[in-house]
Structure 1
Amino acid sequence: MRITKFGHACVRIEHEGQVVVLDPGVFTEPEAVDGATAVLVTHLHPDHLHPDNLRATDAPVFTVGQVHDQLREDAPDVAERTTTVAVGAAFDVGLPVRAVGELHNIIHPELPQPYNSGYLVTVGDQTVYHPGDALALPEVPVDLLLCPASAPWLRSEMAVEFVRGVGAPRNLAIHDRIYSETGHQFLAMQMEQLAGPRGLEWVRRGDGEDL
């Protein structure tokens, strides 16, 4: 298994000839989708959904109905190879996947709350969880959590409690364009203090770096 962190919320998983790319949004390098065999999109915000990046591959796209509808308007060529994933559905993209959760975390009560599905991806004997912009607990053991590290809807307390709640031994920081480097250092110190003693490792990688 090879895990590569790309810009902001995008992660690429390679395993036995399968290349699954999650959330290659507007802050993500187009090369993230090179050779992709499937792309998963959690929700319609542009930092997760960028039609130009989806056009940079001919891989099938799997996502929630709201994103599929948006693609029919903005990128009908991509919509033709897009499959809508039902809430809680199990499906196969070359690797087994299960959708988790239904809604984006609340940003503000007066702003829309989009649909959001996180994805549990089974990679050999490992389970990787990308929650998108939600903190839905998967209720199954997870080996690697791709945890949002900064967002308009996220306090550091929420990130710490999410890491504790999921209980994955390794936690890779994603969704990291919001904080400065100083902010990320503060979060890393809090994770070391509050999650580290429980055996929960917090790591951050630069864009294009492997875990």
Structure 2
Amino acid sequence: MQLTKYTHSCVRLEENGHILVIDPGNFSEVEQALDGATTVLVTHEHADHLDRDRVLALLAETDGMQLYAPASVAAELRALAPAASARIHAAEPETEFVVPGFSIRTFGGQHALIHPHIPVVANIGYVINDNLYHPGDSFIVPHGLMVKNVLVPIHAPWSKTAEVIDFVTAMRAEHAYPIHDAGLSDRGLPLVEKHVTLFGGHYGTSYRHLSPGDSVELA
């Protein structure tokens, strides 16, 4: 399975000619990421994870494309794009489903707390082919399985570096790659990645930086 990182939290997965994209948000290269995609997974409603206008336009243009999102988000998107409503599905936590080329398991249920005055929204973390975990905006650790590869939210309004490190060490994945990194400068990102690399290594996790457009084959 090939993973390609796009800006911020968007990733594209390719397996046996099938393409799955997670979190095509407004910081990301949405058209490039979704080119040829058959499945789109959305972790939650925030615009940096879902660019509604661009994604719905591409969904309307691509007959075979299916989109999965938390129930509240799916309902909103169906109302905005009634012609594509049959291809917009609610993703619930603690479920499993199959899409072309990929098996999906869902975890979590809510976004990490930003501030008590800011309402918490639904957030679904996705495990793909029991091999890769995209947590969205959450540090929920999947229970009942170990994954070899984890995508790590490096920086966010809802996190601190200690929590990033704790997430990586709790996952015990063989490999870790960055997401949710658009809020850091070129000077700030290496500082966080240095800590993730050091402490992840103590627990058997090899961290690798990916810039937008970089690809890696997942074992």
Q: TM-score, normalised by structure 1?
A: 0.94
1:192 counterpart residue number? 197
Q: Does 1:55 align with 2:61?
A: no
Match of 1:167 in 2: 172
SS class of match (1:152): coil
Superposition pairs of residues 1-211 of structure 1, within 5 angstroms: 1-29=1-29, 30-51=31-52, 52-57=54-59, 58=62, 59-94=65-100, 95-122=102-129, 127-139=131-143, 140-211=145-216
User: CA-to-partner distance for each residue in 1:99-153, whole Å, 9 max, x for gaps?
Assistant: 110000000011010000010000xxx6100000011110211111011011100
Q: Indicate if the aligned counterparts of 2:56 and 2:81 stay in contact, CA closer than 8 A.
A: no
**What is the alpha-carbon root mean square deviation over aligned residues?**
1.4
Amino acid at match of 1:28: S
Whole-angstrom CA distance in 2 between matches of 1:197 and 1:133: 25
Q: Distance in 2 between matches of 1:179 and 1:143?
A: 26
Q: Which amino acid in the other structure matches residue 10 of structure 2?
A: C
Give TM-score, length-normalised by structure 2.
0.90
Q: Once the 2 structures are TM-superposed, how far is the Cα of residue 56 of structure 1 from its aligned partner?
A: 2.0
Is the Cα contact below 8 Å between 1:41 and 1:64 reproduced in 2?
yes
Deviation at 1:11, TM superposition (A): 0.6
What residue ranges of structure 1 are gaps of 5+ in the alignment?
Answer: none
Q: Decide whether aligned partners of structure 1 residues 69 and 28 sit closer, same or farther in structure 2, where only a CA change above 3 A counts.
A: same
Unaligned runs of 5+ residues in structure 2 are none
C-alpha deviation, 1:198, in angstroms:
2.1
CA displacement, residues 1-43 of structure 1 (integer Å, 9 cap, x when unaligned): 2110012100111001211100001111121000001000000
Letter in 2 for 1:130: H
- Paired with 2:124 and 2:166, the residues of 1 have a C-alpha distance of 20
- Contact 2:78–2:88, Cα closer than 8 Å, also in 1: no
SS for the counterpart of 1:88 is coil
How many residues align? The count is 208
For 2:83 and 2:188, locate their aligned partners in 1 and report how far apart those are by CA, in whole Å.
Answer: 40
Please identify runs of 4+ aligned residues in structure 1 that moved more than 4 A. none
Contact between 1:44 and 1:70, CA under 8 Å: does it hold in 2? no
Residues 103 and 68 from structure 1, CA distance in 2 versus in 1: closer, same or farther, beyond 3 angstroms? Answer: same
Secondary structure of the structure 1 residue equivalent to 2:187: helix
Between the aligned partners of 1:137 and 1:186, the Cα distance in structure 2 is 24
